[in-house]
Every structure is written in structure tokens, then in C-alpha cells.
Amino acid sequence: MKSERGVTITSVLIYIIALTAVVIIIGRITTYFYRNMNSVTGNTAANAEYTKFNSYFTGEINIEGNEVTDCGISDGNYYIIFSVSGNQYIFQNDSIYMNKTKISDDIEDCRFEYDTSTKVISVYLKIQENEFYNTYTVAK
């Protein structure tokens, strides 16, 4: 009897099923990867905006003798004003401004609060659904 070494229909079907399973698995992994990359990119952008604000604000409160002269709400916008530098930080139009210079963008919510007895400033920021809350003690 002769040996027949051809490809049968059964083996072709097995190859097709195996390749389909591999393609589906790779597709799922790729989808999961890209979905996580979008999440990481969003968190990175929020952290970058918070860091920009924080670098300006910590420099402000570390100026010796720089006290808070006014802190409150005007026209629905939170603001805080310092004495020595004269700088005003205000939240309006989804941005934080130092005087008239935009220092942070894409801010959903921002609140400044000042306790005159302890000289502690509380700042709440909500950036792309990430919430940041920090307290600062004014330098003496």
C-alpha cells in the first residue's frame, strides 16, 4: 500500500479553529492594553495639572512674611490673595490663574479655604475625576 501524506479536511478545520482562537486572544489582549493606556494617560494629565498648580502655590506660601489677605468666593469663583507678593489665585472658566496668567487647565472644581487662627490653607482640586486635597501652612 502506498503512503498518502496529504492534508485532510479534518486537519484544515483544526488549523482554522486554532488560528481563530489565537486571533481572538490577541484581539482581547490588545483591547485590554489600549483601554488601560487611555486610563493611564488621563491620570497622567491630571497629575501634571496638579503638579503645575502645586509648584506655583508652594513657592507662594514659602515666601517669608507672605500672609493671606483675602480668601473667599466672588461670582461663584474661589480666590485667595497674598500680602507680600500681591499674587491672587482664582479659579474661573475651568482654569486656575495666578493674577492673569493661566497656571492650570481642565480643572473641574477648585476650593480655597483659609483658617486665620492656625494659618492653614486648604486646597481642594478635582481634575478629570481625580480628587486632590492638600493643606499648606503659611511660612512665618
* Verdict on whether the full-model pTM lies above 0.85: no
**Strands 130-137 vs 107-115: parallel, antiparallel or unpaired:** unpaired
68, 83 Cβ separation under 8 angstroms:
yes
Task: Give the tens place of pLDDT for each residue, 100-131.
Answer: 999 998 899 999 999 988 889 999 999 888 89
User: Amino acid identity, residue 5?
Assistant: R
Specify the residue for cell string 499648606.
Answer: 136
Task: Give the tens place of pLDDT for each residue, 9-46.
Answer: 888 889 999 999 999 999 999 888 888 776 666 678 88
Task: Give the tens place of pLDDT for each residue, 41-85.
Answer: 667 888 889 999 999 999 999 888 889 999 999 888 999 999 988
